[in-house]
Amino acid sequence: MLGLEEVYVMDLVIAISILTALALVTVLALLIRNVARSGKNLPVTSEWIDDLSIERYRPMLRMLDAGDIEFLRSQPGFTPEMATKLRIQRTQMFRGYLRSLESDFGRVCSAMKLVMLYSKHDRSDLAGIMFQQQIRFATGMLSVQFRLALYRWGLCNVDVTSLIKLFDGMRVELRTLVPSSMSMSA
């Protein structure tokens, strides 16, 4: 026979288990709803894809170039505060570009998911590649964010070439999936 204390503990465990399960179901439902919404406003057309050019991100390749600060140091009246101010300003601008790049990458991935969803053919191979690219992009973003924090203090350089190449690769892949005559608004 169970004592009153054991019954209380079992009731508490059951109650916590039920609350945890309800919380997980709620979170899962919200995630599914957000994923379903994320692609609703994507006009998956060849023109939309062509507008997602990497040209808008080319300034990132030179924005944090150490040569600008070296030039500034060679000028009369240079102070270390000037270099710090320039690094802070460039870091802020660079973060804006990073947010846009991350957003565009996410939009391309969402569009690819839509194309796969409406495809008449099983594209599990593409889903696997896309998942790998998303992981690579996420880890690349973490690395760039970390290096950007160090750059702000003058401790290292930042290279976004690999992130831009990942974005362009996904954009090109999406472009091959959407024929130029296709116009699909989801």
Per-domain residue ranges of the chain: 1-38, 43-185
Instruction: Name the 3-class secondary structure at 32.
Output: helix
Residue 63 CB coordination number (10 Å): 15
Mean pLDDT score, 29-34: 65
- Dist CA 12 CA 153 (whole Å): 51
Residue 85 has pLDDT above 80, yes or no: yes
Report for 44-53, 85-94, 122-131: range of highest mean pLDDT: 85-94
Residue 110 has pLDDT above 60, yes or no: yes
- Dist CA 63 CA 57 (whole Å): 10
List the single range of 59-63, 152-156, 160-164 with lowest mean pLDDT: 152-156
pTM: predicted TM-score of the whole model, two decimal places: 0.69
Degrees (nearest 5) of the Cα angle 162, 168, 174?
A: 140
Assign 124 a pLDDT band (cuts: 50, 70, 90): confident
Residue 99 has pLDDT above 80, yes or no: yes
DSSP notation for 60-115: HHHHT-HHHHHHHHTSTT--HHHHHHHHHHHHHHHHHHHHHHHHHHHHHHHHHHHH
Comparing 25 with 166, the larger pLDDT belongs to: 166
Assign 173 a pLDDT band (cuts: 50, 70, 90): confident
Residue 36 has pLDDT above 70, yes or no: no
**pLDDT at res. 42:** 56
